[in-house]
Amino acid sequence: MDRWRNKVAVVTGASSGIGAAIAKDLIKAGLTVVGLARREGRVADLCKDLSADLRKKLIPIKCDVSVEKDVKSAFQVVDTKFNGVDILINNAGIVRQTELVAPDQTQPIRETLETNVMGVYYCTREAFNIMKRRNVDGHIVIINSVAGHTVPYVQGMPSFNMYPASKYAITAMTETYRREFNAHGTKIKITSISPGLVETEILGDEAKKKEVMGNVAILKPEDISGAVLYALSTPPHVQVHDLIIRPVGEIF
């Protein structure tokens, strides 16, 4: 990770869960982290887990990644105030508890696609063009899901509805990005990291209940952060394209 010391990373969905764990670990590795989240105050709250000398390395910016103008505004700040971006962690994502066949549920389905797919598109587009213009050999990471490789089913859990479709889209986008980055003559890396179940807010209160989860194996946010740091720490000629992480005993 030495090559990234004193560089700038943007982490979306940095207010909790995987995003918060990644933000803290990147700061401890010597980076400045711009944490994007709809709940800007909760990003600032992460400072209590950092030593006094590291707290200045965390910069919260209020941003809903599903809103293009929010994303453009946030990256303009990053470009002008922090001399660009070296690493982007596309972590923001949502699950809505509904069914594809449920009547009058267009809004939650649309929100899933706008956050999980369009949010990644907006952020990656802005970060890539800043990196390219500044001639930075950066790294873009997408927090995908095992649901981007196989549609999960756990009896008794709510429907995953549009979530797997959004993550399958991310899997395809990762390969498209790899080819486009190459076609533009850059050495910017792209990595998709696909966890199984992780203990985060995205599961929702119902899914976390013992009678629903039973003995389902589950990962911690720190497990995924460790994988992100591994991918980032590879030498310049090595690209971890797709990494799937499952807890031992996962039943998907």
Map tokens 């105050």 to a residue. 41
- Residue 189, CA atoms < 13 Å, CB-side half-sphere: 21
Tokens linked to 139: 């790294």
Nearest of 129, 138, 133, 128 to residue 3 by alpha carbon: 138
Which residues lie below 8 Å from residue 48, measured CB to CB, with a gap of 6+? Answer: none
- Concatenate the DSSP letters of all residues of 116-160 into one string: IIIHHHHHHHHHHHHHHHTT---EEEEE--GGGTS----TTSPP-
Distances (CA, A) of 145 to 52, 91, 119, 226: 34, 11, 16, 16
State which amino acid sits at residue 124: T
Neighbours of 183 (CB within 10 A): 8
* Active-site residue, 122 included: no
Map tokens 């700040």 to a residue. 77
- In the set 121, 163, 168, 177, the catalytic residue is 163
Distances (CA, A) of 40 to 20, 92, 196, 197: 12, 13, 27, 25
Active site residues: 163
